Amino acid sequence: MKRLIALMAGIGAACIGVGLVRQHRRVVTVAPELRSPRLYVPVSLRNDTILRLGRKAMTVPVPVAAGVEVRTEHVPATDRGPAVRTLVYERPGRQQPSGALLWIHGGGLVMGTPEVGNGVCSRFAAELGIVVVSVDYRLAPEHPFPAALDDCFAALTWMRDRADALGIDPSRIVVGGDSAGGGLAACLVQMAHDRGGPDICFQLLQYPMLDDRTALRADHDALVWSNTSNRYAWGAYLGHPVSQLEARPYASAARRDDLGGLPPAWIGVGSIDLFHDECITYVDRLRAAGVTCELHVVPGMYHAAEIFSPAVPSMVELLDRMTAALGAATSS
Active-site residue numbers? Answer: 179, 273, 303
Q: In this structure, are strands 131-135 and 168-178 parallel, antiparallel, or unpaired? A: unpaired
Q: How far is CA 136 from the centre of its chain?
A: 13
Residue 104, beta-bridge partner list: 135, 177
Q: What are phi and psi of 45, to 5 degrees?
A: -90, 110
Cβ-contact 174, 128 below 8 angstroms: no
Q: Identify which of 3, 1, 14, 6 has the alpha carbon closest to the alpha carbon of residue 39.
A: 6
CA distance 256 to 250: 7
CA distance 22 to 20: 5
Cβ-contact 109, 210 below 8 angstroms: no
DSSP 3-state of 85: strand
- Could you tell me where the beta strands, DSSP code E, fall in 131-255? 131-135, 168-178, 202-206
Q: What are phi and psi of 24, to 5 degrees?
A: -60, -40
- Asked if residue 32 has a cis previous peptide bond (ω within 30° of 0), the answer is no
DSSP 3-state of 173: strand
Residue 100, beta-bridge partner list: 131, 173
